[in-house]
Amino acid sequence: MSSTPRIAISGAGLGGLVCARILQQHDVPVTVFERETDPRSRPQGGTLDIHEDTGQAALHAAGLFDQFLALSRPESQEWRLYDRQATLIRHDQAGEDDLSRPEIDRGQLRTLLLDSLAPGTVRWGAPVRAVTPLPHGTARLHHHDHAAEDFDLVIGADGAWSRVRPALSDAQPAYAGVTMVEAHFDDVDRRHPGIARLVGRGTMSAKAGRRSLVLQRSSNGHVRAYITFRGPLDWHAGLDLADTEAVRARLLTQHYQGWHESLLDILRDNEGGFINRPMFVLPVPHLWQRVPGITLLGDAAHLMPPAGVGANLALLDGAELARAVIAHPTIDKALDAYESVMLPRAIDNAKTAQQMLTTLMPDTDTDTDDAVFPDTLWPAGTLPDSRPAHTG
Listed in sequence order, the DSSP H helices in 79-179 are: 106-115
Confidence of residue 4 (pLDDT cuts 50, 70, 90): confident
Over the stretch 60-75, which tens digit does the pLDDT of each residue have? 999 999 999 999 999 9
To 10 degrees, what angle do helices 331-360 and 310-327 make? 170
**Record: fold of 7-74+103-173+282-360:** FAD/NAD(P)-binding domain (3.50.50)
Would the pLDDT of 375 be above 60?
A: no
Please tell me the predicted confidence (pLDDT) of residue 337.
Answer: 98
Q: Using one digit for the tens of pLDDT, what is the confidence trace for 318-346? A: 999 999 999 999 999 999 999 999 999 99
pLDDT category of residue 372 using cuts at 50, 70 and 90: very low
Question: 22: helix, coil or strand?
Answer: helix
**What is the longest distance spanned by two Cα atoms in the chain?**
67
pLDDT higher than 60, residue 376: no
Nearest alpha-carbon partner for 241 in 186, 183, 188, 192: 183
Q: What is the predicted pLDDT for the residue at 368?
A: 52
Q: How do strand 203-208 and strand 211-217 relate by DSSP bridges?
A: antiparallel
Give the torsion sign (CA, 300, 301, 304, 309): negative
| % of the chain surpassing 90 pLDDT | 84
What is the spatial distance between Cα 228 and Cα 84, in angstroms, rounded to a whole number? 13
Mean pLDDT, the chain, rounded, equals 91
Closest by Cα among 30, 38, 44, 34 to 11: 34
